[in-house]
Amino acid sequence: MAVTNQALAHHGISAFIVERGTPGFRSGKKERKLGMRASDTAEVILEDCRIPKENLLGEEGQGFVDALHVLDKGRISMAALAVGIAQGAFEAALHYAQQRRQFGHAIAEFEGIQWKLADMATQIEAARLLTYQAAWMKDSGRHITKAASMAKLFASEMAVHVANEAVQIHGGYGFVKDYPVEKFYRDVKLCTIGEGTSEIQRLVIARHLLHSDE
């Protein structure tokens, strides 16, 4: 992104493609992250980097607006990611609870564990349906900003909770790398941050509730 017309504020931002090998463009250090380590994140460094007008992506001055449209779609993807991680954490916890025995019984027979599993499954299903609805609205060509933010907000915060409960059900084993739930726990936090934090989603939703006819 680059400001191409300062007088137009956010309507003066344009998007450009910067080709690999362009003078002044290079990648920086690879970040060491809490989770999502299979997906590299690194710095992008631009120093006196000049590109031709032909590298304009979309219409001049529409870069910021286009980015917001991309965010709407990305929030549905992030919601789906959160549902998937939560489902994985739930299935691992369910399996463990059926196998782990204490006091002569599988811990899945204990009411406290059953309540956790019931709440986890219910919350995952609710998030899945919100995500499906937002995706259906997108495929139908409808305005999706509020629906995408709702799905992303609910699914991401639900997934953090479910992953936390999955670790809790595993007890001490949930804190070691021999079991998958510790990775789900680390990975899932990004879902409340990427494509706009939970706080931003609440602002977006509130703005549509207060200032739109949806």
CATH of the domain at 23: 2.40.110.10
If asked whether residues 45 and 75 sit together in one domain, one would say no
Residues with active-site annotation:
195
Q: Which residue segment(s) compose the domain that 88 sits in?
A: 65-211
If asked whether residues 86 and 184 sit together in one domain, one would say yes
If asked whether residues 15 and 113 sit together in one domain, one would say no
Pairing relationship of beta strands 13-16 and 56-57 according to DSSP bridges? antiparallel
If asked whether residues 102 and 186 sit together in one domain, one would say yes
If asked whether residues 46 and 74 sit together in one domain, one would say no
Final residue of a domain: which of 57, 76, 100? Answer: 57
Query: What would the two tokens of residue 118 be?
Result: 């019931």
If asked whether residues 51 and 69 sit together in one domain, one would say no
CA 210 to chain centre: 25
CA distances from 109 to 93, 120, 162, 168 (A): 13, 16, 19, 16
Residues ≥6 apart with Cβ < 8 Å to 49: 18, 22, 23, 24, 25
- Confidence at residue 10, expressed as pLDDT on a 0 to 100 scale: 87
Q: State the 10-residue block means of pLDDT for the chain, 214 residues long.
A: 90 94 95 94 94 94 91 96 98 98 97 98 98 98 97 98 98 97 98 97 96 66
Residues ≥6 apart with Cβ < 8 Å to 38: none
If asked whether residues 115 and 197 sit together in one domain, one would say yes
If asked whether residues 29 and 116 sit together in one domain, one would say no
pTM over 0.85: yes
Specify whether the backbone of 32 is left (phi greater than 0), alpha (psi in -120 to 50) or beta.
beta
- Confidence at residue 213, expressed as pLDDT on a 0 to 100 scale: 58
If asked whether residues 18 and 79 sit together in one domain, one would say no
CATH of the domain at 88: 1.20.140.10
If asked whether residues 45 and 149 sit together in one domain, one would say no
Domain count, the chain: 2
If asked whether residues 116 and 196 sit together in one domain, one would say yes
